[in-house]
Amino acid sequence: MAIVSDAATTSSEEQRRAAGPQVWPPGTQLVGGSANLKGSSLRPFFIYNSLSRSVEEFIALDRDRVTYYSCGPTVYLRQHLGNMRSYIFADTLKRALEFNGYAVRHVMNITDVGHMTSDEDAGEDKVEKTARAEGRSPQEVAHFYRDLFLADLNVLNIEMPEVICAASDHIADMIALIARILERGFAYVAHSGVYFDVEKYRGANRRGRLSRQSLDEQHAGQRLEHAPDKKSPHDFALWVLNQPTHLMQWDSPWGRGYPGWHIECSAMAMKYLGATIDIHSGGIDHVPIHHENEIAQSESATGRPFVRYFVHHAFLVGMEGAKISKSAGKFPVLEDLIRARVNPLAFRLFCLSAKYRSELVFSIDAVRAAERNLYYLYGFAASAPVEEADSPWTQAYRERFQAALNDDLNTPEALAVVLEMVNKAYRDNDRRICGTLKQFDRVLGIRLAEQFEYLKRLKVPADIQALIDERAQARSKKDFGRSDELRMQLQARGWEAKDNRDGTSEYMPRWN
Ligand code: AMP
Ligand code: ZN
- Model confidence over 255-265: pLDDT tens digits? 999 999 999 99
Among all bound ligands, the one having the nearest atom to the CA of 72 is 1
SS3 at position 269:
helix
Q: What is the pTM of this model?
A: 0.85
* Cα 47 from Cα 16, distance rounded (Å): 12
Q: How far is the CA of 273 from the centre of ligand 2 (A)?
A: 14
Among all bound ligands, the one having the nearest atom to the CA of 284 is 1
> Which atom of ligand 1 is the closest one to the Cα of 85?
21
Question: For 374-403, what is the mean pLDDT?
Answer: 91
DSSP 274-340: -SSEEEEEEEGGGIIIIIHHHHHHHHHHHSS-SEEEEEEE--EE-TTSPBP-GGGS----HHHHHHT
Where on the phi/psi map is residue 495: left (φ > 0), alpha (ψ -120 to 50), or beta? Answer: beta
Q: How far is the CA of 261 from the centre of ligand 1 (A)?
A: 15
Checking if the pLDDT of 36 tops 60, the result is: no
Sign of CA dihedral 106, 112, 113, 114: positive
Q: Which among 68, 69, 86 is the best mutation to test ligand 1's pocket, defined by most ligand atoms within 8 Å of the CB?
A: 86
Closest CA to ligand 1's atom 17: 82
pLDDT digits (tens, 9 = 90+) for 92-127: 999 999 999 999 999 999 999 888 877 666 678 899
Question: For 353-360, what is the mean pLDDT?
Answer: 98
Beta bridge partners of 173: none
Residues 6+ apart with CB under 8 A from 413: 404, 407
* Cα 224 from Cα 123, distance rounded (Å): 11
pLDDT of residue 296: 96
Confidence of residue 454 (pLDDT cuts 50, 70, 90): confident
pLDDT of residue 225: 66
Q: Which among 83, 210, 363 is the best mutation to test ligand 1's pocket, defined by most ligand atoms within 8 Å of the CB?
A: 83
Q: Which residue has the higher pLDDT, 22 or 137?
A: 137
Average pLDDT, rounded, for the chain: 87
pLDDT of residue 32: 27
Question: For 62-82, what is the mean pLDDT?
Answer: 95
Q: How far is the CA of 331 from the centre of ligand 1 (A)?
A: 12
Closest CA to ligand 1's atom 2: 73
Confidence of residue 355 (pLDDT cuts 50, 70, 90): very high
Where are the CATH 3.40.50.620 domain residues in the chain?
A: 2-21+42-313
> Which atom of ligand 1 is the closest one to the Cα of 111?
4
Checking if the pLDDT of 8 tops 70, the result is: no
Q: How far is the CA of 193 from the centre of ligand 1 (A)?
A: 27
Which CATH superfamily is 2-21+42-313 part of? HUPs (3.40.50.620)
Q: How far is the CA of 494 from the centre of ligand 2 (A)?
A: 42
Other Cβ atoms closer than 10 A to 147: 11
Checking if the pLDDT of 157 tops 80, the result is: yes
Report which residue type is found at 431: R
Among all bound ligands, the one having the nearest atom to the CA of 79 is 1
Among all bound ligands, the one having the nearest atom to the CA of 287 is 1
Confidence of residue 283 (pLDDT cuts 50, 70, 90): very high
Closest CA to ligand 1's atom 8: 83
Ligand 1, residues at Cβ distance < 6 Å: 71, 73-74, 82-83, 85-86, 282-283, 285-286, 315-316, 323-325
Q: How far is the CA of 81 from the centre of ligand 1 (A)?
A: 9
pLDDT digits (tens, 9 = 90+) for 499-511: 877 778 888 777 6
> Which atom of ligand 1 is the closest one to the Cα of 317?
19
Q: Is residue 98 a contact partner of residue 61, using CB atoms and an 8 Å limit? A: no
Closest CA to ligand 1's atom 7: 83
Q: Which residue has the higher pLDDT, 392 or 202?
A: 392
Checking if the pLDDT of 31 tops 60, the result is: no
- Please report, rounded to a whole number, the percentage of residues in the chain having pLDDT higher than 90: 69
Confidence of residue 40 (pLDDT cuts 50, 70, 90): very low
Q: How far is the CA of 261 from the centre of ligand 2 (A)?
A: 8
Q: Which residue has the higher pLDDT, 374 or 12?
A: 374
pLDDT of residue 507: 83
DSSP 209-229: TTT--BHHHHTTT------TT
Checking if the pLDDT of 365 tops 50, the result is: yes
Confidence of residue 497 (pLDDT cuts 50, 70, 90): confident
Closest CA to ligand 1's atom 6: 73
Closest CA to ligand 1's atom 5: 73
Least confident of 15-24, 215-224, 271-280, 431-440: 15-24
Checking if the pLDDT of 7 tops 60, the result is: no
* Cα 507 from Cα 363, distance rounded (Å): 27
> Which atom of ligand 1 is the closest one to the Cα of 283?
12
Could you tell me the strand order of the sheet in which 163-166 lies?
163-166, 104-110, 66-70, 277-283, 307-313
Among all bound ligands, the one having the nearest atom to the CA of 294 is 2
Checking if the pLDDT of 400 tops 90, the result is: yes
Q: How far is the CA of 327 from the centre of ligand 1 (A)?
A: 12
Closest CA to ligand 1's atom 11: 283
Checking if the pLDDT of 3 tops 80, the result is: no
Q: How far is the CA of 80 from the centre of ligand 1 (A)?
A: 8
Question: For 176-199, what is the mean pLDDT?
Answer: 97
